[in-house]
Amino acid sequence: MDPLHALTLADVLREHARSWPERVATVDGERRITYRELQDRTCRLAHALAAVGVGPGDRMLWCGQNSARVLELLLAAAKLGAALCPANWRLSADELAFVIEDLEPAVTVWQEEEVGDAVRTARDATGAPGRWIAHDAPDEYEPFLAQGDPDDDFGDRDPAESVLFVYTSAWSGQPAAAMLSHTAVVTQGLVFGRAADIGPESVYLNSGPLFHLATAMQTFATFVAAGANVFTRRVDAEELCRLIDAERCTGAFLVGPTIKQILAVNADGRFDLKSLRTPAGKPAWTEMITVDTSPMARNPAGYGQTEVMGLLTTNLTAEPTVGTNGRALPGVQIRIVDPDDRDVPDGETGEIVARGATVMNGYWNRPDETARRLRGGWHHTNDLGRREVDGSISFIGPKARLIKSATENIYPAEVEATLASHPAVAECAVIGTPDRQWTQSVKAIVVLRDGETVTEAELVAHVRERIASYKKPRTVAFVDRLPRVGFAVDYDTLDEQFGGGGYPGGPGVGAR
């Protein structure tokens, strides 16, 4: 590592403490912390953690709802060469026990209120490794932090080190923690800040879950820009309105149901929400807020995943694109490849692979999966996409299974998306059936919209007109509903019912 050109999260904080010492960094309940104070607190916290054995390469676990202490712990980890994992506070005790056993945290900071029962059960089941600190107990977190030395005498750290662990969905039967570096977090913060017009004057309301990068990448973008992060434990529409009004929040993580609740709570206009910048919506919403004119809001599009620190593509201009998901973010490269990792021509569907500053270092404790996903020096997303004629990217869907027709590769997600564009189709699924001549044939299983009719021939023609002819279904079956496991279509059951099989590498081959 060359310290002359290194920049870690701890370095970002050090410079903010020099450049913006009195600017508010975090607001959490009654506690308002400036950047100078945040520097002091994270030094104390890092020294206190070091005194109980936390050092380079160690993991810390957060088991609680939103709090400014998540950011404090991350920055303390950055100074020590350790890493923080914010766990999903909605996990069951068994799920949380898996995370604890997998991560082996040196320190777990947890929350008694609302979360405590599951945490205690998981702690008992795992033998309670490491040090446990209840952050909402008045005699634990703050006294622990206060005992640390305020001196910033920590050595330089390599910005390529992993500092943030985020568990992904259980695509292999078990969740896995993507290991994200200082460089990934800072770079995504800079780029997302550019896309969303985030600067030192920004005030971000952390109203989404911090264990999910949809919220956290905005938290980090605000921190990198020396803005203020306001934390609320969980979503409550009236409390969100109060905070937006009181703190003059410029951004927030809001989803449709929450917006409806805010509209109901503030129907009388008692809260001033004009500081909040969001896309336009229904007239009542647009009247209540300020319409966002940032690049991301003018032409919203994007694709990403946890393993790339959030977004991998977006639109940074107001220009229209052929692709549905914008272009590669600055700092990353994207290719579209076939199953042999060879580039496919523009307009053809293949797997999205990427490399660059925001790509993960791998999965914690999953060496085989890390090697598979990062083979050849590229991160294989297990998602399908297409490079369009103007260079933009269209996300198609998860790679999942591959159907082989002679020498051609057919991705069910692409065929399903094309079938679903027919006005008579409510939902559909595509499987491969064994074919002596062609290896496999494409079979579509289709649910029609109420009152609609369409023939097999019409659906086949619909697909043939829109994508390569060899991808069209050979046959179509009409059903009343698709079998599901939870929300996901149960392709194994469809194979059993409709004679699917012969997939390259075996039945059901493919992963997220």
**Residue 237 · residue 265 · CB < 8 Å:** yes
The predicted model gives 260-270 an average pLDDT of: 96
Among the ranges given (91-105, 169-183, 362-376), the one the predictor scored with the smallest mean pLDDT: 169-183
**DSSP letter string, 447-464:** EEPTT----HHHHHHHHH
The predicted model gives 373-388 an average pLDDT of: 95
What's the pLDDT score for residue 507?
46
Residue with tokens 């194979």: 495
In CATH, the number for domain 321-398 is 2.30.38.10
412 vs 364 pLDDT, higher one: 364
Q: Percent of the chain at pLDDT above 70?
A: 97
What's the pLDDT score for residue 220?
98
Does the pLDDT value for residue 370 go beyond 80? yes
The predicted model gives 280-288 an average pLDDT of: 95
Confidence of residue 511 (pLDDT cuts 50, 70, 90): very low
In the structure encoding, which two tokens stand for residue 154, read together? 């920590």
205's CB contacts (< 8 A; 6+ apart) are 230, 232, 240, 243, 244, 247, 249, 251, 252, 253
Q: Percent of the chain at pLDDT above 90?
A: 82
pLDDT digits (tens, 9 = 90+) for 33-74: 999 999 999 999 999 999 999 999 999 999 999 999 999 999
What's the pLDDT score for residue 508?
43
What's the pLDDT score for residue 410?
87
The predicted model gives 329-340 an average pLDDT of: 94
The predicted model gives 120-140 an average pLDDT of: 93
What are the angstrom distances between the C-alpha of 366 and each of 40, 179, 243?
A: 36, 11, 41
Does the pLDDT value for residue 476 go beyond 80? yes
Does the pLDDT value for residue 505 go beyond 80? no
Reference 188, options 161, 216, 217, 210; nearest CA is: 217
Residues of the chain with CATH 3.40.50.980: 32-157
In CATH, the number for domain 32-157 is 3.40.50.980
What's the pLDDT score for residue 172?
53
Among the ranges given (142-146, 198-202, 298-302), the one the predictor scored with the smallest mean pLDDT: 298-302
Burial of 158 (0-12, 13-18, 19+ CB in 10 A): middle
88 vs 289 pLDDT, higher one: 289
Residues of the chain with CATH 3.30.300.30: 403-498
Residues of the chain with CATH 2.30.38.10: 321-398
pLDDT digits (tens, 9 = 90+) for 396-413: 877 777 898 876 788 888
User: How confident is the prediction for the chain on average, in pLDDT?
Assistant: 93
Q: What's the pTM value of the predicted model, to 2 decimals? A: 0.85
Q: How far apart are CA 178 and CA 306, in angstroms?
A: 7
pLDDT digits (tens, 9 = 90+) for 159-192: 999 999 999 865 555 789 999 999 999 999 999 9
What's the pLDDT score for residue 512?
34
In the structure encoding, which two tokens stand for residue 320, read together? 């229209």
In CATH, the number for domain 403-498 is 3.30.300.30
In the structure encoding, which two tokens stand for residue 249, read together? 């929040």
Confidence of residue 506 (pLDDT cuts 50, 70, 90): low
pLDDT digits (tens, 9 = 90+) for 206-219: 999 999 999 999 99
